Amino acid sequence: MQYKALALTAVLAFADTAASAEADDGRMIRVPLSKRSDQEMILGHLKRERDFLASERSREEPDSPFAVFATDRDEEVNDSPFAAAARRRLRGDVVVDGNANGRARDGKDENVIIKYYANAQYYGTVHVGFPPQEFTAIWDTGSADLWVPRKGCSNCGYCNPITQHTSVCKDKYDAVSSRTYREYGADFEIMYGSGSVSGIFSRDTVTLAQDIKVKHQRFAEVEDAKGLGLAYVMGKFDGILGLGFEAISIGKSTVFGSAIDQGLVKDPVFAFYLGDNGDGELTLGGYDETKFEGDDLHYVDLQSATYWQIELDGVDVGDGYSTGKTNGIVDSGTSLLVGPTAEVAKIAEQVGAKANFMGEYTIDCDKVDAMPDVTFRIDGKNYSVPGKDVVLKASSICLFAFMGMDIPAPGPQWILGDIFMRKYYTVFDQGNERIGFAPVA
C-alpha cells in the first residue's frame, strides 16, 4: 500500500471573506484567497500544547475526563500538526483496485474563490455533478487527487440542528441526485499519518469557479474518513482538490489536467498570490501581471513532473548557516518553511529559538527585529525572506516558522511553504514543467 501523510490542524474560529470568481475575456479565472491571522495561529499553538498535556494526563489517569479524547488525539499529538501538514501527501502507499502500483481500472483563464484555512491550507468552492453539488475543498499543490465525502459517509462530520450550517456538518456527495454521475467502481484508499481514508472512485462533471466544467472527471467518494480524526471533523473543508501532477495521482487523473485536455483553460498554468495579512488570489489558466514587480518571471525547470520540486543552489540564514546544493518543493498547503531536522535545529540554535515538546519552535519576541534573513538560492538568484517575516507573533508569544522533518528519499529535503510564497508570486506552469517566481507587488 502506498503511504501519504496528512494531519490537519485543530480548528479555530475563522471569519470567511465574501468574494466571487471573476473571469477575464481571455477566460482566465481569478480566485480571492482569505488568510487566517497570526493571532489564530498562536491560539492554535497554545491549544495543541493544552491538548498534548491533556492527552498525557489521560494516559496516566484512565478516569480523567480527558480520556475520552485520547484515542482520536494520540496520533495527532505525537505528530505535530505543523510537521504533518508539511509532510502530508508526499507519495506513499495507496491501494487502487487492489493493485499495489496504484493504477486504476480501466480554454479558460479565470480566478477561483478559495479561502485560507489554519495558515496551512487554502480552501474554496468546487461543484460536482449536475445539478451542481457544492463542496469546500483544500486547493493543494502537494497532492493530485480530488475527493469529497459521499452521502452516508462514516466519521465525516456531525450534523444536527445546531451544526447543520457550520463546517462541522460536512456537505456530502449524492450520486443519485446527479444526472451526470457515472459509476467507475475502483476502490480508493489512502493512508494518512493518523489512519486511512477509504471509498470508491466515480466519474462526474466537476465545475471550477463558475463555468469551467470538467466532464467525466474521475474523483473519489469517501465512505469513511476516520483516519483524519477530529481535525477533519472540525476543519473548514469537505474534501481536497490536488494541483499536483498526474504521476502522483492515485486515480491517475487530475482535475486541472483534465481541464487542460478538454481545452477549458487558456494556458496550462495556474498562479498563487498570497496576501500578507490580507486576502490573496489564485488564477487558473494564466497569471496576473499586476500581482508582481518587474516585467518578467524567473522560471525554474522541475526536477520531475511529480511534485512541484526544484533544485536549490542552497539555503542561507544570515552569515552563520549555509547549505550546499539540495532540493525542495513549493507547496501551497504548507504554512511554514520545512527542512531536515538536524539542519533546522542548527538554524534555531543560531537565532536563539527553542523547541517545545511537540517540536514547534518559539523565540523571544525581543529578538525578532534582529532576526537574520532567510535566503533560498535558486538557479543563480537569491530569494530572501526578511527575518521578521519568519516569525508569527501574537501578544507575547512568537513562533519561529521553521519545522524540522526528515522526508525519506526520493522526497524533497526542503518545503517552501506559505512563508516563502507570501513574498514571491508563484506561477505553476504545468505545460512546460516549470515554476516562475517574482517578488510580490
Q: Are 317 and 325 in contact (CB under 8 A)?
A: no
Closest alpha carbon to 285 in 323, 318, 256, 246: 256
Burial of 291 (0-12, 13-18, 19+ CB in 10 A): buried
Q: Is 291 helix (H, G, I), strand (E, B) or coil?
A: helix
Active-site annotation, residues? 140, 331
Element of type H or E holding 398? strand 397-400
Q: Which three cell numbers stand for residue 9?
A: 490542524
Q: Which three cell numbers stand for residue 16?
A: 470567511
- Gyration radius of the chain over CA positions: 21
Q: Which residues, in sequence order, are CB contacts of 10 under 8 Å at separation 6+?
A: 44, 47, 48, 51, 76, 81, 118, 230, 231, 234
Quickly count: other Cβ atoms within 10 Å of residue 289's Cβ. Answer: 13
Q: Is 40 helix (H, G, I), strand (E, B) or coil?
A: helix
346 vs 29: CA distance, rounded Å: 42
Q: Is 323 helix (H, G, I), strand (E, B) or coil?
A: coil
Query: How many separate helices (H) and strands (E) can be counted in the chain?
Result: 7, 31
Q: Which residues, in sequence order, are CB contacts of 31 under 8 Å at separation 6+?
A: 19, 21, 110, 111, 112, 113, 114, 124, 209, 281, 282, 283, 284
Bridge partner list, 239: 137
Q: Which three cell numbers stand for residue 254?
A: 487530475
282 vs 425: CA distance, rounded Å: 10
Quickly count: other Cβ atoms within 10 Å of residue 124's Cβ. Answer: 26
Exposure pattern of 156-170 as b/e (b: 16+ CB <10 Å)? Answer: bbeeeeeeeeebbbb
